[in-house]
Amino acid sequence: MAGKILKLTDADFDEKVKSEPLILVDFWAEWCGPCRVIAPVLEELAGEYSGRLTIGKVNVDENRQTAARFGIRSIPTLMFFRDGSRADQVIGSHPKSTLKTKIEQLINAH
């Protein structure tokens, strides 16, 4: 069951992130192999955590300001925001189980 992934841009990043209680933002690029590997996992997680977690994606090639603002040096970088503030991050492609553990910690910490 694939979930809805929010597309984020330099223009709407702050507005969309602040409107979500908990959001995982995937900083990625078309040419990034590990980004393509993790994409279907994020879609599954979006479906599994629908209503509790929003997942968004920022294409770093198209949205350089946002990537620079958060100091993105390697992709994929998965950044978690709670009520608009950065809560945690994971760099690189990780197994779904690792991401689920991180998500559960953040959901249960609130």
Q: How confident is the model at residue 109 (pLDDT cuts 50, 70, 90)?
A: confident
> Over the stretch 29-65, which tens digit does the pLDDT of each residue have?
999 999 999 999 999 999 999 999 999 999 999 999 9
Catalytic residue among 25, 35, 55, 72: 35
pTM of the prediction? 0.95
Active-site residue, 12 included = no
Give the chain's end-to-end CA distance (angstroms, integer). Answer: 26
Domain ranges of the chain: 5-108
Q: CA 59, 89, 55, 34 torsion: positive or negative? A: positive
Question: Beta-strand (E) ranges in the chain?
Answer: 5-8, 22-28, 54-59, 77-82, 85-91
Cα separation, 32 vs 53, whole angstroms: 24
CATH number for the domain running over 5-108: 3.40.30.10
Active-site residue, 59 included = no
> Over the stretch 5-33, which tens digit does the pLDDT of each residue have?
999 999 999 999 999 999 999 999 999 99
Catalytic residue among 17, 23, 24, 32: 32
